[in-house]
């Protein structure tokens, strides 16, 4: 397997292979970063800097703050220890992360206000990171805000960010637009460099014994990558930006599938939480084994082979395929009745 070329160009950055470790808490520790690099990952996305971290710090420094300011009350109760994780410390930690490993470090920003996005994206750029991920996490809460106004605002933000930054920009976004393909195509026109499919939207749960809300940080399940697989397949060849797939990727065969659909590369998080860093080595081995078995010597030879743009009969990407699966669910019912 010595002659295989796993090199992948992501947002103009050369990666030694297509495996990037996604944004999570593990990457804030230098020892973990070294283990990630040793295991063979090609790049790391650093933990996001959140608007709430920035606001809490600025509020703590603002003597004019009103005691009953609603936002302040909500944020300090949600993040009681937040003073140890302010934005200045985050920027310092980003620099340290970058210096501690040789593979590219991509930063991540999750803001709310336009001013915060622009100010902190610039500050993040100044740390010397290779790129920035713009984490568009919008939880619908207000029925009076229209989808089109949210989309317009997000696109305008990307236009501004693209004007002000020199480093490449990836956009990590939700799959819950009425037509994600249209939104992505419009965002693509702003010149952003990549799309991360998709944001994992952690939802609150209910504890029926305590009769209260709980907030689990659930890891993904194997198979969760299906949504990214479909959208990578639909987008490949139709947009200029690169496509990163993430969500429930647990082994090398699944990476092969996402590359065949048209992803430029993948991000993994949950697999590392469940199986530690060696899972990256195992994924690389499985990817290389498949390439050897199928006679491919580079990833470029097969990326997008099963995308909608590259197959003669795009049945898999049509409504009929969905209907077919559900019509054939009769078979499952028959099997079920026989048990
Ligand atoms: C513990 C944990 C922390 C995370 N923190 C972030 C974060 O700060 N920013 C972000 O964009 N995604 C964050 N994520 C989401 C991951 O980057 C990733 O998109 C998601 O977990 C899906 O990939 P996976 O199935 O491989 O876990 C986090 C995930 C986990 C499990």
Distance between CA 52 and CA 229 in Å, rounded?
32
Residue numbers of the domain that contains 66: 8-306
**Using one digit for the tens of pLDDT, what is the confidence trace for 9-20?**
999 999 999 999
Using the predicted structure, report yes or no on whether residue 293 has a pLDDT greater than 90.
yes
**Using one digit for the tens of pLDDT, what is the confidence trace for 32-41?**
999 999 999 9
pTM: 0.90
Greater model confidence, 294 or 202: 294
H or E element, residue 158? helix 147-164
Omega before 198 cis (within 30°)? yes
pLDDT score, position 1: 66
Distance between CA 136 and CA 157 in Å, rounded?
10
- Its sign, for the CA torsion 6, 270, 97, 105, is positive
Residue 285, domain member (yes or no): yes
Using the predicted structure, report yes or no on whether residue 71 has a pLDDT greater than 50.
no
Q: What is the DSSP string of 285-331?
A: HHHHHHHHHHT--BGGGTTTTTSGGG-S-GGGGSHHHHHHHHHTHHH
Residue 86, domain member (yes or no): yes
- Number of domains within the chain: 1
Residue 1, domain member (yes or no): no
DSSP 247: S
**Using one digit for the tens of pLDDT, what is the confidence trace for 73-128?**
454 444 444 444 689 999 999 999 999 999 999 999 999 999 999 999 999 999 99
270 in ligand 1 pocket by Cβ < 6 Å? yes
Of all protein residues, the one whose alpha carbon is nearest to atom 12 of ligand 1 is 23
Using the predicted structure, report yes or no on whether residue 335 has a pLDDT greater than 90.
no
Residue 312, domain member (yes or no): no
Using N-to-C axis directions, what is the helix angle for 180-188 and 226-235, rounded to 10°? 50
By most ligand atoms within 8 Å of CB, the mutation choice from 18, 21, 23 for ligand 1 is 23
Residue 313, domain member (yes or no): no
How far, rounded to the nearest angstrom, does the alpha carbon of residue 22 sit from its chain's CA centroid?
Answer: 6
**What does the mean pLDDT of the chain come to?**
89
> Residue 3 has which token pair?
């002659």
- 42-51, 74-83, 328-337: segment of lowest average pLDDT: 74-83
pLDDT score, position 138: 75
Nearest by Cα to 130 from 168, 162, 171, 170: 168
The CATH number given to whatever domain includes residue 49 is 3.20.20.70
Residue 277, domain member (yes or no): yes
């Amino acid at each position: 397997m010595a002659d295989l070329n796993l090199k992948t160009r992501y947002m103009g950055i050369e990666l030694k292979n297509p495996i990037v470790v996604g944004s999570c808490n593990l990457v804030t520790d230098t020892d973990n970063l070294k283990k990630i690099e040793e295991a063979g990952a090609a790049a790391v996305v650093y933990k996001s800097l959140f608007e709430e971290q920035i606001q809490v710090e600025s509020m703590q420094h603002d003597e004019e703050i009103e005691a009953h300011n609603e936002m302040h009350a909500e944020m300090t109760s949600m993040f009681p220890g937040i003073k140890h994780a302010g934005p200045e410390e985050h920027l310092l930690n980003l620099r340290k992360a970058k210096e501690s490993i040789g593979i590219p470090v991509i930063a991540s920003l999750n803001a709310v206000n336009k001013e915060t996005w622009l100010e902190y994206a610039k500050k993040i750029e100044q740390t010397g990171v290779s790129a920035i991920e713009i984490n568009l996490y919008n939880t619908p809460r207000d029925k009076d805000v229209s989808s089109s106004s949210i989309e317009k605002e997000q696109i305008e933000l990307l236009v501004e960010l693209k004007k002000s930054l020199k480093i490449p920009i990836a956009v990590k976004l939700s799959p819950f637009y009425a037509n994600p393909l249209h939104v992505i195509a419009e965002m693509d026109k702003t010149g952003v460099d990549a799309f991360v499919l998709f944001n994992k939207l952690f939802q609150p749960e209910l504890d029926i014994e305590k009769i209260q809300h709980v907030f689990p940080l659930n890891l993904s399940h194997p198979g969760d990558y299906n949504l990214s697989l479909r959208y990578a397949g639909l987008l490949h060849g139709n947009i200029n930006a690169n496509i990163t797939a993430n969500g429930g990727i647990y082994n090398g065969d699944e990476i092969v599938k996402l590359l065949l659909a048209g992803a430029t590369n993948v991000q993994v998080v949950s697999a590392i939480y469940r199986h530690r860093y060696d899972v990256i080595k195992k994924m690389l081995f499985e990817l290389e084994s498949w390439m050897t078995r199928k006679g491919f010597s580079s990833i470029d030879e097969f990326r997008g082979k099963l995308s909608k743009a590259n197959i003669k009969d795009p049945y898999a990407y049509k409504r009929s395929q969905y209907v077919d699966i559900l019509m054939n669910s009769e078979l499952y019912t028959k099997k079920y009745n026989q048990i």
